[in-house]
Every structure is written in structure tokens, then in C-alpha cells.
Amino acid sequence: MCAIAAGRQGLRVVVLDHANKPGKKILISGGGRCNFTNLEIDFDRYLSRNPNFCKSALSRFTQWDFIAMVERHHIPYHEKKQGQLFCDHSSKDILAMLLAECSRAKASIFLNNKITHIEPDTDGGFHLFTHTQHWRCRSLVVATGGLSFPKMGASPFGYRLAESLGHSIVSPRAGLVPLLWQPRDKIRYSGLAGIGLITTVSSLGHSFQDDLLFTHRGLSGPAILQISSYWQPGSAVTIDFLPGKSMTSLIQSSRQGHPRMKLKTLLRQTLPNRLVPALLPRQWLDKPLAQLNTREIEFVGKQLHRWQIVPEGTEGYRKAEVTLGGVDCDELSSKTLESRLVPNLYFVGEVVDVTGQLGGYNFQWAWASGWNAGEMLGQRYTRTGGTHHLRKLKIRKKTQ
């Protein structure tokens, strides 16, 4: 997006990527259908040590701007739920659109280019070295993403580069990631693997209502991925298996009409069969509703509405959709994404300490921050009438 915005304004743009294919994360995203944005982009759906930072870029390039681009390319899409927009056919449509726009903007993409190091130039530009090439550029935009999904080419390169140029990094950690059972819970609950249901999941003052999935190793599904970004090691996760209902009221009302109905019969009408015995003592499940005392009814309500676990940890970067933390926003301009410490250096996308919730928010941040940096670069060089130097130089025999 940055290359498109800058290239459209006449700047010479080169994208260097060490991957063998462009846009690998786009291709695997959204189960292969890319949840490319959300109809309701609220700023409070982003996590950052500076929660105001994302507002400027997201307001200048909105979800409607991206949707307009998608529509110009006649890509069919639909809203799945909660404003989440997905391609009807494939993520390949979004990648093809971006590549076509890059080509139209005359931005060149060089793949299989692992950048080994970068040196600031004395006149404000940068020298970039790959194994075989040496580039000199006036402005450098770092869009190297986070640490999630290392098999897709994720690397800490952006963080290391930022640090080497004096930037602070807000400690990275895995976000939108499945949670793991403690060893004793794994013995108790791994047999529930495969059960999925709508729940409300809460931790540390945050709540999400969405699908939850039991796995052999722990808990997953959208509700768990969402809460994982807010969860802290050692803290509890509370699960309401019957959001919007009251189990105690249901027992009270059912025992009027069906006093001899067993508790398990009632529960199986509302919950998956296999889940019920894992949550409540077997002897209670066989009791007729009329025989349950107040303490027992309250306990049933607590287990079903406020079930608590303390996860052992997360599945880590291998399975995380995003990386929280990154280049400290306080050292970047929120309007241009330019470094406040090193002129002509920009950071966009996931490498910055801005992370969205699940639902297309992360791509929207990547599109918006990239677009803003590209636009600002274009305006800057057009306004000053300056030329934008980008040169491929011969590799020097000896690089310092």
C-alpha cells in the first residue's frame, strides 16, 4: 500500500522482500478468504501503549477507501459477522489487486532479497545491503511485520533495525493466539477436544462473545484468540457457556413443571453432551431437579456462567495471528509514520506497536499506515520539487 501510494505520485519505489512470494500472509489469512477489513473500524479495537496513535492514519485512509479499491477491481466480497469483510472466492483476489496497483504505480518488487544490513548515509539517505545487491535510497519504509508465523518469513529484522537506529521497542508478545491447559487441566479436559460453542470469555476487564473451541492442548476459537491479546500470564480466564441466559432461573422454572427431570437432561438441552460431565459432579447430574438444594443450584450457575481456568501460556508465535508490541509509537509521527529520531525513516504495519483485534482490524492498520506513509512521502517530494533518488549500486567488495 505504501509502494502504491508513493509510486502513484511519481516516486521511484522498490520493495525488497526476503520471501520467495509476495503477500504470503494475505494468502493464508481468513482461512484463505482474507478478512481484509471491517465495516466498523473503532479506535478502541486497537491495542498499543499509546492508544491515540492509530487514530490519525485510520481516519485518513479508512475501511471505505479500501472497500472502494476492492470494488474498483470487481472483487466479490461479503460480510461474515460483526462487520468482518471476506472475499467470496479467495485471498488471491486481494493479492492480485495489490500487485496490479503496484505495477500501475510502477513500483518494482524484488523477492528473495534478504537485507543483511542498513547504513544511514551522511546526507540523510540510506544504504541497503542484501547478499548480492547494494541499494541507495533517500527514504526508507520498514514494513517487516511482527514475529508471528515464522514459517511465512516473519523475522525480528524490523525491531533490530529500529533499535540500532536508537528506537525503543515495546516488548513483543504473541497475540490472537490459542491458550494452553495447565498440565492437570490437560488431563481433565483434553477429552473435550472438538467441542465448539458460543461463549462469553473474559479476563482482566475485557470480554468477548464469540465461538470457543476445545482442543487437545487447550482452548481456541475467535473468543479465545480475542481474549489472548489482553490476557497476562498467571491471570484467570472466565467463561460463560450460556451467554444471555440464567441457568439458576432455568432450573427454578423447569423444576416447577418437571420436578423429576434429571439435571443432566435439562443441561443437555442447552449444552454439548460431552461438556456437561466435565463441568459438574456426576452424582448431581443424576439428581432430579426437585432434589437440588439452593447451594447446589448456585454452584451449577457458577460453573456454567463463571467457569475459570488459569492457562499455562499461549501457543506462541508459531500459531499467533499477530505480534503485540513493536516500535514505540511515541517516537513516530502519527500523521506520517516517520521516525522522530531519524529523518526519512518510516515504520508501518505490524512492526509498529499497534495491534488490532480479530476481524480485519490488522489488515486495515497495515493498509492505512502504509498508505499514509506513501502519501506523505509523495507530497513531501512533490511539494519541495525535490527529486527522489533511488539507485541500485554495484555491490562493494568489502562492506563495513
Distances from the Cα of 311 to the Cα of 213, 219, 238, 273, 276, angstroms: 15, 9, 11, 24, 21
Q: How far is the CB of 118 from ligand FAD (least distance, A)?
A: 10
Q: Which is nearer to ligand FAD, 29 or 372 (CB)?
A: 29
Residues numbered 60 to 89 that lie near ligand FAD (CB under 6 A) are none
Q: Which is nearer to ligand FAD, 115 or 179 (CB)?
A: 115
Residues 29, 203, 229, 303: which binds ligand FAD (CB under 6 A)? 29
Q: Which is nearer to ligand FAD, 280 or 351 (CB)?
A: 351
User: Can residue 19 be called a binding residue for ligand FAD (CB under 6 A)?
Assistant: yes
- Cβ-proximal residues to 181 (8 Å cutoff; 6+ apart), any chain: 189, 190, 217, 218, 219, 309, 311, 312
Contact range with ligand FAD by CB under 6 A, out of 45-53, 270-278, 287-295, 355-363: 355-363
Q: How far is the CB of 323 from ligand FAD (least distance, A)?
A: 8
User: Can residue 139 be called a binding residue for ligand FAD (CB under 6 A)?
Assistant: no
d(CA 140, CA 347): 9
Q: Are 16 and 115 in contact (CB under 8 A)?
A: yes
DSSP string, 203-222: ETTEEEEEEEEE-SSEEESH
Apex CA 121: angle with CA 120 and CA 123, to 5°? 130
Cell representation of residue 230: 489482553
Q: Which is nearer to ligand FAD, 304 or 320 (CB)?
A: 320
Cell representation of residue 1: 500500500
Q: Which is nearer to ligand FAD, 13 or 271 (CB)?
A: 13
Q: How far is the CB of 63 from ligand FAD (least distance, A)?
A: 11
Distances from the Cα of 94 to the Cα of 6, 89, 217, angstroms: 19, 10, 33
Q: How far is the CB of 25 from ligand FAD (least distance, A)?
A: 4
Size of the site for ligand FAD (CB under 6 A): 31
Helix (H) or strand (E) holding 36: strand 35-38
Q: Give the x/- contact pattern for ligand FAD in 177-216, rule: CB under 6 A.
A: ----------------------------------------
Instruction: Work out whether strand 140-142 and strand 77-79 pair parallel, antiparallel, or are unpaired.
Output: unpaired
User: Can residue 35 be called a binding residue for ligand FAD (CB under 6 A)?
Assistant: yes
- Comparing CA positions, the residue from 95, 10, 74, 38 lying closest to residue 368 is 38
Contact range with ligand FAD by CB under 6 A, out of 71-79, 150-158, 298-306, 375-383: 150-158
Q: Which is nearer to ligand FAD, 149 or 181 (CB)?
A: 149
Q: Are 251 and 292 in contact (CB under 8 A)?
A: yes
User: Can residue 334 be called a binding residue for ligand FAD (CB under 6 A)?
Assistant: no
Residues 50, 90, 133, 155: which binds ligand FAD (CB under 6 A)? 155
Q: How far is the CB of 330 from ligand FAD (least distance, A)?
A: 19
d(CA 320, CA 40): 23
Q: Are 51 and 43 in contact (CB under 8 A)?
A: yes
User: Can residue 101 be called a binding residue for ligand FAD (CB under 6 A)?
Assistant: no
- Cβ-proximal residues to 198 (8 Å cutoff; 6+ apart), any chain: 209, 210, 211, 212, 223, 243
Q: Which is nearer to ligand FAD, 315 or 331 (CB)?
A: 315
Q: How far is the CB of 297 from ligand FAD (least distance, A)?
A: 42
Residue with cell 492457562: 311
User: Can residue 218 be called a binding residue for ligand FAD (CB under 6 A)?
Assistant: no
d(CA 224, CA 178): 6
Q: Which is nearer to ligand FAD, 155 or 270 (CB)?
A: 155
Q: Which is nearer to ligand FAD, 11 or 225 (CB)?
A: 225
User: Can residue 363 be called a binding residue for ligand FAD (CB under 6 A)?
Assistant: yes
- Comparing CA positions, the residue from 136, 141, 138, 172 lying closest to residue 155 is 172
Q: Are 13 and 392 in contact (CB under 8 A)?
A: no
Residues binding ligand FAD (CB under 6 A): 16-19, 25, 28-30, 34-35, 114-115, 143-145, 148-149, 153-155, 157, 321-322, 349-351, 360-363, 366
